[in-house]
Amino acid sequence: MKIFIAGATGRVATKLIDDLLADGHQIVAGSRHPEQQAKKDGVTPVKLDLHASVAALAKLVEGSQAIYFTAGSRGKDLLQTDAFGAVKLAKAAEQDGIKRFIMLSSLFALEPEKWEATASLRGIMDYNIAKFFADNYLVAQSQLNYTILQPSVLKETAGQGTITIDDGQDGENSIEDVAETLAEILEHDNTVGKVIKMRAGTTPIATALSRV
């Protein structure tokens, strides 16, 4: 498949690209600084400005068969990037007839009553508010074949290839395991229309997703 990745130079996307290339996909890597994209066969870097119009974004992603949204402003541009940027890219996908849309989100982003549950969640309150609106657009207002992945805290630790998927508890995730889970979601049609909460665990990723 030809796959567009928004936020392609980020921590998760860098590993996600490797996983998708290994699966034989072609990648259009969208980021604010495409010159920073690692040069790899099968990867085409393009400049992505999430402040752009839906029409401009639709032109950028035209011809893709699936879109991943992994972009994030790290708190510097929450409304324009993390919230409305995601919504506009989803609208662009709809305009182009691209049905598959996979969103990297945050644990409990659609459940505000849980945002005070732990110190780690309280620390990303504004981010979760932004993701609430982005995730809610996909669920309630789009006609896309979406999957929303809501991991708990991301850590720079080695991936184990095993996870837990359930109703959700605060925990930790290896960035490598999150990336592998995102890539594997594309292989599981049963994940369409699902919000998936994940943390570190003992179930192989493909097995866990097959049970969603």
pLDDT at position 157:
87
d(C-alpha 20, C-alpha 127), whole Å: 27
As for how many domains the chain has, the answer is: 1
d(C-alpha 61, C-alpha 43), whole Å: 14
Is 182 inside a domain boundary?
A: no
pLDDT at position 121:
87
How many of the other CB atoms lie within 10 Å of CB of 113?
A: 7
Structural domain including 58 reads 2-152+191-198
- What does the pLDDT look like over 166-191, one tens digit per residue? 887 888 899 999 999 999 999 999 99
Percent of the chain's residues with pLDDT above 90 = 87
Is 163 inside a domain boundary?
A: no
CATH of the domain at 140: 3.40.50.720
Is 131 inside a domain boundary?
A: yes
pLDDT at position 189:
97
d(C-alpha 71, C-alpha 12), whole Å: 9
Contact 152, 173 (CB under 8 A): yes
Is 108 inside a domain boundary?
A: yes
Is 94 inside a domain boundary?
A: yes
pTM for this entry: 0.96
Tokens of 170: 């605060």
Element (H, E) at 150: strand 145-151
Is 135 inside a domain boundary?
A: yes
pLDDT at position 117:
84
pLDDT at position 40:
94
Closest to 88 (Cα-Cα) out of 104, 69, 72? 69
